[in-house]
Amino acid sequence: MTPQLTEFFEFLRFPSISTDSRHKDDVRACADYLMQKFTGMGLKPELHETPGHPIVIARSEVKAGRPTVLIYGHYDVQPVDPVDEWATPPFEPTLKGDKIFCRGATDNKGQHFSHMLGVEETIRENGELPVNVIFLLEGEEEIGSPNLAPFLKAHQDELKCDICAVSDTGMIGPGIPTMTYGLRGIACLDFKIHGPTLDLHSGVYGGAVPNPATIVSRIVASLHNPEGVVRIRGFYDKVVPLEQWERDMWGSLPDGNAATLAETGAPGLWGEAGYTALEQRWGRPTAEVNGIGGGYQGEGSKTVIPREAMAKLSFRLVPDQDPAEILQLAKAHLEATCPDSCRIEVELGHDGPAYVMDPHSSYGKAAQNALRIAFSDEPRLIREGGSIPIIQSIKDILGVDTLLLGLALPDCQIHAPNESFTVSNFEAGIRLNRALLEELAK
């Protein structure tokens, strides 16, 4: 174990699960750890309270006449359940071969910690950095960053920068440098169907009264036609079609359909006709059911008509869909599809727009040079299906683009049991940070 890995393991041990209030103190302890680390590196850290979890800022020495780079990351992590499916304890980092297993190893602790170590190495070796650096690490990304946009607005002068860099996206394969120039947006909602006022005997009343679980299923089934096209009226109205150069570039990558099957283990592909798996994942909008429930879930059978049932939906969005408008369209669709025999209750959740930048801009080219140096290979240009809503807020509020230089591998299992990050990518992240700051200084 190198001293750098030992430190990384210390950072990984904090169970900083932002969505679970029982872990509130752990999230804060993790922020305190970052404060100490930044101080030790020679940066000036600040802990900013929010109505939720704290935001950590750390600044390097500022020299006039050189660019300022904002490096964003998130130290909060996803919950660990189903915990029984972890082969090792989720918050005890475990090294097996090149892989470090731990919740948050890839998403996102490993990725931003390697940037921190890159900065630390440069300062140690050269006494200074080639650019001004501001780290911005939040503890609420996995719950939709509710307090970060207001924070950016309130502190826009102190956060003034020329470009933002983030490693919180994927690589298309081990050793293949990947620059992501777009992310999908997101819009979430929950709905509940209320039927009878109490659970009923399904023999005594079945047939004559609506079954909320059946109605939820019918509504969920109404979201797509058999070809996988979303049936919500107006859903596609503002969708910007994929450009031919993007389709060509993604078509030149190793077979995305086969990779999608291999990564997911699904017996077959599904979805909108006329698009490859990569085009669907990176450049087309979707409607997904993230949770569905109602009625008896225990062992054996129980003949009951549940009095209510629910589903949780999320929509992935592409430019120029407006998340708030999509939520209204979806709500109208759900309400219109619910029969009069039941009552529907829709609760809108968090949302954020899609993001795209020009990968051929001068900063985009600098990022590609850095990837080339760190991985000794030609960078591939992709978009990603996941969402980091704050990236568009950084554009809107601070006025700068973000270079998305992700280090997540296809088999890293973020958000799932047995998440891992490789030691190779941890080290590549350190090299990437060093090359990036050099290239951005030119």
CB of 105 to Zn ion, least distance (A): 12
Q: Which does 402 bind (CB under 5 to 8 A by kind): Zn ion, ligand BES, none?
A: none
Span from 100-108, 117-125, 293-301, 323-331 in contact with Zn ion (CB under 5 A): 100-108
Question: Of 133 and 405, which has the nearer Cβ to ligand BES?
Answer: 405
How is residue 372 written in tokens? 């080339």
Residue 393 is which amino acid? S
In terms of DSSP bridges, do strands 380-384 and 304-305 run parallel, antiparallel, or are they unpaired? unpaired
Question: Of 276 and 387, which has the nearer Cβ to ligand BES?
Answer: 387
Does the footprint of ligand BES cover residue 429 (CB under 6 A)? Answer: no
Answer yes or no: are the C-beta atoms of 146 and 19 closer than 8 Å: no
Number of other CB atoms surrounding residue 396 within 10 Å: 12
Does the footprint of Zn ion cover residue 138 (CB under 5 A)? Answer: no
DSSP state of 84: G
CB of 261 to ligand BES, least distance (A): 18
Does the footprint of Zn ion cover residue 107 (CB under 5 A)? Answer: yes
Figure out which of the listed residues 26, 107, 279, 439 binds ligand BES, where binding follows CB under 6 A. Answer: 107
Figure out which of the listed residues 52, 118, 144, 359 binds ligand BES, where binding follows CB under 6 A. Answer: 144
Question: Of 108 and 321, which has the nearer Cβ to ligand BES?
Answer: 108
CB of 38 to ligand BES, least distance (A): 22
Q: Which does 144 bind (CB under 5 to 8 A by kind): Zn ion, ligand BES, none?
A: ligand BES
Does the footprint of ligand BES cover residue 285 (CB under 6 A)? Answer: no
Tokens 């589903």 belong to which residue?
311
The torsion region of residue 88 among left (phi > 0), alpha (psi -120 to 50) and beta comes to beta
Site for ligand BES in 175-204 (CB under 6 A): 186
Strand partners, 345: 192
Figure out which of the listed residues 387, 393, 402, 433 binds ligand BES, where binding follows CB under 6 A. Answer: 387
Span from 57-65, 102-110, 194-202, 316-324 in contact with Zn ion (CB under 5 A): 102-110
Tell me if residue 86 falls in helix, strand or coil. coil
In terms of DSSP bridges, do strands 99-101 and 94-96 run parallel, antiparallel, or are they unpaired? antiparallel
- Can you spell out the DSSP letters for 330-391? HHHHHHHHS-TTSEEEEEEEEEE--EE--TTSHHHHHHHHHHHHHHSSPPEEEEESS--THH
Strand partners, 344: 193
Distance (Å, whole) CA 102 – CA 140: 19
CA nearest 20: which of 139, 130, 129? 139
CB of 178 to Zn ion, least distance (A): 17
Measured at the alpha carbon of residue 243, what is the angle toward residues 242 and 247, in degrees to the nearest 5? Answer: 80
How is residue 367 written in tokens? 């990022």
Does the footprint of ligand BES cover residue 93 (CB under 6 A)? Answer: no
* CA-CA-CA-CA torsion sign (113, 381, 164, 143): negative
Span from 140-148, 225-233, 266-274, 433-441 in contact with ligand BES (CB under 6 A): 140-148
Figure out which of the listed residues 141, 246, 308, 401 binds ligand BES, where binding follows CB under 6 A. Answer: 141
Does the footprint of ligand BES cover residue 419 (CB under 6 A)? Answer: no
Q: Which does 93 bind (CB under 5 to 8 A by kind): Zn ion, ligand BES, none?
A: none
Chain contacts with Zn ion (rule: CB under 5 A): 107
Interface residue list for ligand BES (CB under 6 A) = 107-108, 141-142, 144, 168-170, 186, 350, 384, 386-389, 408
